[in-house]
Amino acid sequence: MAKKVAYLGPAGTYAEQAAVSYDPDAEGVPCPSIPAVAQAVERGDADEGVVPIENSLQGSVTFTLDLLIHDSNLFIRNELVLPIHHSLLAAPGTRAKDITVIYSHPQALAQCQDYIAKHHPKAEVVASLSTATAVQELAKHGKNAAAIGNLRAAELYGAEVLASNIEDNPNNVTRFVVLGKTPSARTGSDKTSICFWFDDDAPGLLYKVIKSFHELEINLAKIESRPTRESLGRYIFLIDMDGHRDDARVKKALAEVEKQVSILKVFGSYPKAIAPV
């Protein structure tokens, strides 16, 4: 039986493209939201789920971070990096000069804002649940509407390509993570993602945590913060580091950090993405 991989749907999203790149032989399970992807895995409707976590232009995907922090105990099992190339799509026969409204996911709209300002300065921009949903619903919006999506969405939903590669930055890539119920084994080229927070607020708390990694010569690839949802000015810290949680140095560092923080959550250790797929 083929593996089932859930992704943010419908078919034609970049998340589907990432899921196919991750496992071309898997059966895709489209889901209406990022939390729904995790729920599909938790229920057993899918073996794994692919969700976006970071874009090179727009930064972290907060829906995914908040899911990992607050709402799921799934592990990050893998990661992959996907180049993002946007196209301006419309119903057949639509003329570019007649476009008065452009639909897409907020991230895609933000990644093409310079193009929109230059070529369609008077067009209204409207957020959709996904890039594929924007393309899928073009037919009901008439001949003055366009959507930003990918070429697969154009093919699936019968849209015409008015312009290609309209992203403002050619280095536009999105990092996706693969979620599952079990952790990944050590490969020797791994990354570990964690979050932690403090119940108290005092000078030097975060410094002491960072110092623990420094003293053990563990490279921190990323550090950022998210609100705790409990009070203004209180934050949860997230770190990506080189190494697997079963590596001696990483294991020692995590043990030291756990003594210093109120809560430590390890999202997972997983193989590093080598290059965009």
Provide the residue ranges of all domains of the chain, joining segments of one domain with +.
4-83+172-180, 87-164, 190-271
Q: What is the mean pLDDT of the chain?
A: 93
Reported as a single tens digit per residue, the pLDDT across 90-119 is 999 999 999 999 999 998 999 999 999 999
Reported as a single tens digit per residue, the pLDDT across 186-205 is 999 999 999 999 988 888 89
Return the CATH number of the domain spanning residue range 4-83+172-180: 3.40.190.10
| Radius of gyration in angstroms for the set of CA atoms belonging to the chain, rounded to a whole number | 21
Check if 4-83+172-180 and 87-164 are the same fold: yes
Return the CATH class of domain 190-271. Answer: alpha beta
Reported as a single tens digit per residue, the pLDDT across 62-72 is 999 999 999 99
The number of beta carbons lying within 10 Å of the beta carbon of residue 151 is 16
Q: Which of 218, 221, 252, 253 is nearest to 239 (CA)?
A: 221
Q: What is the pLDDT of residue 140?
A: 83
Give me the CATH topology for the region 87-164: D-Maltodextrin-Binding Protein; domain 2 (3.40.190)
Reported as a single tens digit per residue, the pLDDT across 146-159 is 999 999 999 999 99
Annotated active-site positions, please?
A: 174, 176
201/72 Cα distance (integer angstroms):
26
- Residue 42 or 229, more confident: 42
Q: What is the pTM of this model?
A: 0.87
- Range 227-251 average pLDDT: 92
